[in-house]
Chains A and B, each alone.
Chain A
Amino acid sequence: MNNSKPNKFWGFALKEFRHIFRDKRTLLIIFGMPIAELLIFGYVVTNEIKDANIAILDKSGDYLSQKLTSKLASSGYFIPTTYLYSENEIEPVLRSGKAKMVVVYEPNFAEKFFREKNAAIQIITDASEPNTASLLANYAGSIINSFASENGANELRSSPIDIRVRMLYNSELKSVFMFVPGTMALILMLLTAMMTAISIAREKELGTMEVLLVSPLKPSHIVLGKVLPYVGLAFINALVILFLGYTVFDLPMRGSLALLLLVSFVFIILALSLGIFISTVSKTQQVAMFFSMIGLMLPTMLLSGFIFPIENMPLVLQWLSALMPPRWFISAIKTIMIKGEGIAYVWKEMLIMIGMIVFFLTLSIKKFKVRLS
């Protein structure tokens, strides 16, 4: 009997693979969705600044102000589209949306810069989009600062306190660093949890579970056999997402790839145990789908730090987000990929995820019915 056990198990997994590969819709969801979602999040839902239209009011018009303008233009962030001639034009150009930012040079810019060591530039931004406005101001500020020092203004002190902001790890504030981990969490969560939940619920709905129950298969056989193919597929998906992030979106890979894959693997198992849990409490595919969508997708998007920073949430929501499995995964892979840290910095996240796996699996095995109803 013992040597036939792997046989039973592999037979089950083989059957599951056949279900997946015979259903074109399932196949499309499994392999099409990750790529589509990644590209959509990558190109559409982006909050970084690129080619922002700006207006220039150059009251000086000397070589130095023109040099700074062309430096701004060559940075890749700004395109000077409009040149203004009076202060009165500033508001209309911002209002009409032709420019997101206006740069104003004071008269005799070069002279003041070199003689008085104190030249003024005014930056006016359209703060009806506060995030964009502050990003633009930051970018412009840092470009102007580096311009000033390049032109021998090292001893120059425009204010008693010199603030130098450095955006560590993501110095260009690229949103790709944010959404690749987030999308990965979302896709792995949805795919693995929802697909397993649905496929177990489908057996209940079609009545095949009835036949499986009246067989020597143990619940663990049934569940593991169901889950195994999805572990493989989800892992392949994780690799595809990482590869796309790396090649298409220039995501850095600073930490150890092995550790990253280990963390992903733990998260996949966690998502699966969640899926199994959902399937034990839902009788039909519809219910399983509903639970997965509402119970997994929305919290993943909203509470995991994927879209909204956890630090900015009200305290109650911060507590709630601690219960969201993807939060720990996102935090861990960011630490590994972007900060390049090792296991010493992600063990907490790993432990929490493993704890959640144990919790959901125990609960599922307790709730798994060896009989009908």
Chain B
Amino acid sequence: MNPIIVNKLAKSYEKVNALKGISFEVEDGELFGLIGPDGAGKTTLIRILASLLLPDTGKASLVGNDVVKDFHEIRKIVGYMPSRFSLYTDLTVQENLEFFAGVFGSTIEENYYLIKDIYHMLEPFKGRLAGKLSGGMKQKLALSCALIHKPKILLLDEPTTGVDAVSRKEFWAMLGKLKAEGITILVSTPYMDEASLCDRIALIDKGEILSVNTPKGIIALFPQKLYGISTPNSFSLLNHLRTLPICKDAFLFGQEIHVTTSNSNITCESLHDLLSNSGFTNSTVTLIEPTVEDCFMQLMGNNR
């Protein structure tokens, strides 16, 4: 039986349908990513799994424990890290760790090997108040506190939001190590570039799951050819592309425009010629490999 099973889970608040009956399973020892924009329902889902919210309908279980009935059991085996920094800012790094270890009836020494790498980075600051740490350090401390009782399942809600690029990288490296310890990890993130670091991902938008697959699998399922166009005046080109009948979708990714077409006869050359004729002479067109973000945009477009 898979450690995380979500079956037709639905939850609505007063005005919003946060989850519209979603289902998926996370396999043992997997690093599973929940990818979607703000308001997609990620936090609601994780809170239901952490037994903090009750679903309206549907079922979910963690290692065989129902999130509604067996919430006592769940709270012993889950490590949970909310999206907002939720440690005691007036306690030091060391005191926070000691406290959370104590809460779970454990000690820092008992599971030190789990947090060793992270704690190593925090060690120089162990006497500092948690409120005075940098964003990246805070997240590392929060992760340490969520790990201190050696949970079977780790639920991380947007752990890298508001964290600098280097710290994000370090954070994901740590998740990789925890996975190697056999901990099943469910992590949500709005950053598409983090998707490729997961074993499998679920793309979620407006309370619905668009696709569940490996990052590669999701990319392989991208239905059309994708063209990348670089040009100095990308905004006017983007507007122009969107008026063309052959253009299916066009999005700006940084400096580059990603375009799909509904016409399979189009090639790089013909697209380039088409643009040159419209006055966009100094643009380069190449066939590119889609990213998870492209897939997401495409799936989101289908969903609307």
Q: A215-B75, A370-B71 are in contact. Are A19 and B102 (CB under 8 A)?
A: no
Query: When each residue 40-63 of chain B gets 1 if its CB lies under 8 Å from chain A and 0 otherwise, what string results?
Result: 000000010011111000000000
Contacts of A373 in B (CB 8 A): 53
Residues of A in contact (CB 8 Å), total: 29
The reply to whether the CB of A230 lies closer than 8 angstroms to some CB of chain B is: no
Min CB–CB distance A339 → chain B (angstroms): 46
The reply to whether the CB of A1 lies closer than 8 angstroms to some CB of chain B is: yes
- Docked pose: A216 CA to B76 CA in angstroms: 5
Q: Which among A8, A207, A372 is the interface contact of B105 at CB below 8 angstroms? A: A8
The reply to whether the CB of A371 lies closer than 8 angstroms to some CB of chain B is: yes
- Docked pose: A211 CA to B50 CA in angstroms: 10
Decide: A8 and B103 in contact? CB cutoff 8 A. Answer: yes
Query: When each residue 199-215 of chain A gets 1 if its CB lies under 8 Å from chain B and 0 otherwise, what string results?
Result: 00000001110111111
- Docked pose: A216 CA to B102 CA in angstroms: 11
- Docked pose: A70 CA to B161 CA in angstroms: 84
Min CB–CB distance B292 → chain A (angstroms): 29
- Docked pose: A210 CA to B237 CA in angstroms: 48
The reply to whether the CB of B119 lies closer than 8 angstroms to some CB of chain A is: no
Q: Which stretch of B88-96, B163-171, B173-181, B269-277 is in the interface?
A: B88-96
Q: Which among B86, B91, B105 is the interface contact of A211 at CB below 8 angstroms? A: B86
- Docked pose: A171 CA to B166 CA in angstroms: 78
Decide: A15 and B105 in contact? CB cutoff 8 A. Answer: no
The main secondary structure of chain A at its interface with chain B is helix
- Docked pose: A373 CA to B98 CA in angstroms: 28
The reply to whether the CB of A32 lies closer than 8 angstroms to some CB of chain B is: no
Min CB–CB distance B258 → chain A (angstroms): 38
Q: Which stretch of B77-85, B203-211, B280-288 is in the interface?
A: B77-85
Q: Which residue of B lies closest to A373 (CB)?
A: B53
The reply to whether the CB of B87 lies closer than 8 angstroms to some CB of chain A is: yes
Min CB–CB distance B97 → chain A (angstroms): 11
- Docked pose: A210 CA to B80 CA in angstroms: 9
Interface-centre pick from B88, B89, B103, B146 (highest chain A CB count, 10 A): B103
Decide: A212 and B90 in contact? CB cutoff 8 A. Answer: no
Q: Which of A353-373 contact B (CB under 8 A)?
A: 370-373
The reply to whether the CB of A12 lies closer than 8 angstroms to some CB of chain B is: yes
Contacts of A18 in B (CB 8 A): 90-91, 95
Q: Which of A1-35 contact B (CB under 8 A)?
A: 1, 4-5, 7-8, 10-12, 14-15, 18-19, 22-23
- Docked pose: A370 CA to B70 CA in angstroms: 12
Min CB–CB distance A14 → chain B (angstroms): 8
- Docked pose: A203 CA to B78 CA in angstroms: 20
- Docked pose: A371 CA to B87 CA in angstroms: 18
Q: A19-B88, A207-B86 are in contact. Are A371 and B53 (CB under 8 A)?
A: yes
The reply to whether the CB of B99 lies closer than 8 angstroms to some CB of chain A is: yes
Contacts of A14 in B (CB 8 A): 99
- Docked pose: A214 CA to B53 CA in angstroms: 11
Contacts of B98 in A (CB 8 A): 11
Q: Which among B52, B95, B100 is the interface contact of A213 at CB below 8 angstroms? A: B52
Contacts of B88 in A (CB 8 A): 15, 19, 208
Q: A11-B98, A372-B47 are in contact. Are A210 and B52 (CB under 8 A)?
A: yes
Q: A19-B88, A215-B75, A370-B71 are in contact. Are A11 and B50 (CB under 8 A)?
A: no
Contacts of A371 in B (CB 8 A): 51-54, 71
Decide: B102 and A7 in contact? CB cutoff 8 A. Answer: yes
Decide: B105 and A216 in contact? CB cutoff 8 A. Answer: yes
Decide: A12 and B102 in contact? CB cutoff 8 A. Answer: yes
The reply to whether the CB of A217 lies closer than 8 angstroms to some CB of chain B is: yes
The reply to whether the CB of B104 lies closer than 8 angstroms to some CB of chain A is: yes
Min CB–CB distance A22 → chain B (angstroms): 5
Decide: A217 and B103 in contact? CB cutoff 8 A. Answer: yes
Binding site for A on B (CB under 8 A): 47, 50-54, 71-72, 75-76, 78, 80, 82, 84-91, 95, 98-100, 102-105, 145-146
27 contacts between A and B (CB under 8 A): A1-B105, A4-B105, A8-B103, A11-B102, A14-B99, A15-B88, A15-B91, A206-B89, A207-B82, A207-B84, A207-B85, A208-B86, A210-B52, A211-B86, A211-B87, A211-B146, A212-B103, A214-B51, A214-B52, A215-B75, A216-B75, A216-B76, A216-B103, A216-B104, A371-B54, A372-B47, A373-B53
Nearest 5 Cβ contacts at the A-B interface: A11-B102, A4-B105, A207-B86, A214-B80, A372-B52
